[in-house]
Chain A
Amino acid sequence: MIEFCGLRLAHPIVNGSGTFDAIAARRAFGDALLDAFPFSAFVSKTITLRPRAGNPPPRLWEAPAGLINSIGLPNRGLHGYLEHDLPELAALPVPLITNVMGSTEAEVAELVEAVGARPEIAAIELNVSCPNVKTGLDIGADPGSLAALVRAVRPLTRTPLIVKLTPNTADVAAVAVAAEREGADAVSLVNTLRAIALAPRTRAPWLGGGTGGLSGPAIRAVALAQVAAVVRHVSIPVVGMGGVTRVEHAQDLLSTGATLVAVGTETFRDPAVASCIASALKSLQNPETPSTSVKASEPQVEVDVNSPD
């Protein structure tokens, strides 16, 4: 059992917001999904005050060892979420974390108050990768704007608040410190790295939304560095994510100081990968469990720039 913001979780692997739709997955996989639910808590996609259709396609671009997406946060809006999605998500066998985003402090306040009032929701994650209407900068890119936002919404709920940090900032640790100082219960990082792709023939922006966010193994080392910077400066729990595809990557984040690890893009390649990572972690933590990687003799190591291990 892992303790996180007062929640007791069966293992440290959760999903990144917006990388798993449990309702759609239930249609595709049926009750088998619930019997083998891969995450120890479920993080919803971002909910906004009003419904959003999302960005015009194309929305995806396959990058070297990664993916650029420009989905545009399609969702039913707060009311639709509470009425239609919440009953289904509350029936999942794990605690529910609801991710919200607003373009003004008042919007975020309304979202936090409404979501915080629902006992089915165990924690709230704030998506702060949203431009400040006055400065044009992402709220989460600027410690001052972020501090003001958390200060405004923190008193509105007793539900744990997680701030999802953007990597698109000069000093992610300063933003994390601001979140902690204003009462955030945890921070999660990283969101996607801002990226663009050009159409091969026209060299015009490929994605319907113009810019997108890069995820997958391509960003793993960057994410690990950002998580390391944040854990050095805050004492609240950290949810680490970015390019995790195997148990070793989860171990990297956990040993760096993350309390939980989120899997995102790899779930697109295998919806059950989080289960594999969680059970591999468990085997590694219980030495009496036979390991599949026991070698009879000293293993030969390849001499490359990553060696010796």
Chain B
Amino acid sequence: MRVQAPFGRRRVTVTAARDVGPYRVLEAADPDGPQPWPGQFYMLAGAEHWGGGEDERPFLPRAFSFLDAGEGTLSFMLEDVGPGTARLCELQAGDELWLLGPLGIGFTAPEPGPPARRALLAGGGVGVPPLAAWARELAARGLAAEAVLGFRDADHAAGARLLTAAAVSVATDDGSVGHHGLVTDLLAAALDDDPHATVYACGPPAMLEAVRRMCAARAVPAQLALEAGMACGFGACYGCVVPVRDGGYVRLCVDGPVLDADRIEAVPAH
């Protein structure tokens, strides 16, 4: 499902910025934007001091799935992992952002069946936002969803608080909270318990690839929210391509970022 974006980027104001564990949640007023669909994304850039940092970066905007969207408001969850995210994580209420979107194609609801399939959300780290938005949409439609989320440690697991579902299980790499191990352990257990599910996943490439393999082996339909470096977000630069099973490449920005798992041979490493 794609909601089309107004043409041109919009200068919007940050209304709140808060830390959730090591993550940053930015809220912005977007009075002129449409209500986006879960899994869609926006291109963000700071209105000030974008460029001119170390090595004269950042230069290009950065792509982020939205976490929540209300009446004329949007929120995003970020992690400071480079010059663009570092700048965005510095923003405070009252600062301004350039924003373009919503862009791309988001998630599709489970086939009504029979057999009825529940939504099983599998996320890792900064992969939480599109799943949190999707959980909210599913709940609004009266559809059951459960979530399995993986993080590095208890500190990062604070990100799980941003997702509300009927059941949320957490795994950490260091065992400091929840299951000591991989999120795919939790996913396997959930599918063992009841295989009638559609899996929705977002997270680091290695985790997504593990999810893809598991779902393929069990013939469970899966939708993967993928990520790739992109310059534009609207099909112009041809930078964000991933190889697909039927040959050639698709641009994640216009044909994704959510792809049916069976469209790809493997989730590309970044």
Contact, CB under 8 Å: A272 / B8 = yes
Once the chains are docked, how many angstroms separate the CA of A50 from the CA of B237? 21
B-side interface mostly = loop
Once the chains are docked, how many angstroms separate the CA of A23 from the CA of B7? 14
Closest to B104 in A: A28
Given contacts A29-B6, A29-B7, A270-B9, contact A69 B251 (CB under 8 A): no
Q: Which residues of B contact A33 (CB under 8 A)?
A: 7
Interface-lining segment among A57-65, A159-167, A220-228: A57-65
Q: Work out how many contacts link A and B, with CB atoms closer than 8 A.
A: 122
Contact, CB under 8 Å: B236 / A24 = yes
Once the chains are docked, how many angstroms separate the CA of A220 from the CA of B225? 37
Once the chains are docked, how many angstroms separate the CA of A272 from the CA of B2? 20
Contact, CB under 8 Å: B57 / A62 = yes
Contact, CB under 8 Å: B239 / A29 = no
Taking the nearest CB of chain B, how far is it from the CB of A23, in angstroms?
8
Once the chains are docked, how many angstroms separate the CA of A270 from the CA of B10? 9
Q: Which residues of B contact A56 (CB under 8 A)?
A: 243
Contact, CB under 8 Å: B6 / A24 = no
Tell which of B57, B60, B231 touches A64, judged by Cβ atoms closer than 8 Å.
B57
Contact, CB under 8 Å: A53 / B248 = yes
Closest to A64 in B: B56
Given contacts A29-B4, A53-B249, A57-B228, contact A67 B238 (CB under 8 A): no
Q: Which residues of B contact A36 (CB under 8 A)?
A: 7-8
Residues of A within 8 A of B (CB-CB), count = 41
Tell me whether B232 is interfacial, beta carbon within 8 Å: yes
Most buried by B among A29, A53, A63, A69: A29
A137-166 CB contacts (< 8 Å) to partner B: none
Once the chains are docked, how many angstroms separate the CA of A53 from the CA of B246? 12
Closest to B101 in A: A28
Taking the nearest CB of chain A, how far is it from the CB of B252, in angstroms?
10
Taking the nearest CB of chain A, how far is it from the CB of B229, in angstroms?
5
Tell me whether B257 is interfacial, beta carbon within 8 Å: no
Once the chains are docked, how many angstroms separate the CA of A18 from the CA of B251? 14
Pairs A-B, 9 closest by C-beta atoms: A24-B235, A272-B8, A64-B56, A268-B232, A60-B239, A30-B4, A28-B234, A268-B231, A32-B7
Mark A residues whose CB is within 8 Å of B: 18-21, 23-25, 27-30, 32-33, 35-36, 53-54, 56-60, 62-67, 69, 71, 74, 216-217, 265, 267-272, 275
